A and B are shown apart, each in its own frame.
Chain A
Amino acid sequence: AQSVTQLDSQVPVFEEAPVELRCNYSSSVSVYLFWYVQYPNQGLQLLLKYLSGSTLVKGINGFEAEFNKSQTSFHLRKPSVHISDTAEYFCAVSDGAQKLVFGQGTRLTINP
């Protein structure tokens, strides 16, 4: 069985500061990894995905994530955040079958 742990439930940062949202997973097989963002009163939107190849993955809105197989991590980073990045972020893992397993979510709050 797979599982995902997002290590921080809330992350407050100042505008234009860098941010890292942490995600660890467990799985006995090869995995596909995803980060989704949820803005208030909306559904989830795909930020980026790792399927294979380069371990550094770039996504939309200036976000990137690095797949680290030895540490079973897939942390999300952005070098300089904006007020509009305020949202909840979800890490998810799949073994290639249809289902996704989600983490509990990290609420990112950007302060001016």
Chain B
Amino acid sequence: DVKVTQSSRYLVKRTGEKVFLECVQDMDHENMFWYRQDPGLGLRLIYFSYDVKMKEKGDIPEGYSVSREKKERFSLILESASTNQTSMYLCASNHRAGPQHFGDGTRLSIL
């Protein structure tokens, strides 16, 4: 079974802090994704990566950056956290155009 692991289930940070969310997958998938999930808005794509050191902006990249130094790990960075970034963050991975496999999510609160 594919395993996508997000480093934290719950995280509380303060406005202006630099925040790192980590995601690791164990199936050698080339594609990895970061979404945020908000009530009534579904999942919105922040960034994705199709190879090591490669990244593309999704629909809502503002205020975020990403890093993919190794194939199995994809990090989401909030450079200066703001209260409107309070949300559920979901990481996913897949092989080519196959189904995406999701982690359990990180519920991030910015105070």
Contacts and interface: CB of A to CB of B under 8 A. Distances in A.
A96 B43 contact: no
B40 A104 contact: yes
Interface residues of A, number: 23
A44 B97 contact: no
A26 to B, nearest CB: 15
Interface string A5-16: 010010000000
B4 to A, nearest CB: 7
B36 to A, nearest CB: 11
Given A98-B50, A99-B48, A43 B94 contact: no
Interface in B9-54: 9, 31, 33, 40-45, 48, 50
Interface of A: 6, 9, 32, 34, 36, 41-46, 49, 90, 94, 96-100, 102-105
Question: Quick one: which of A6, A43, A45 has the most chain B CB within 10 A?
Answer: A43
Contacts of A97: 97
Interface of B: 4, 9, 31, 33, 40-45, 48, 50, 58, 90, 92, 94, 96-97, 99-105
Contacts of B99: 34, 46, 49
A34 B42 CA distance: 14
A42 B9 CA distance: 10
Contacts of A100: 45, 100
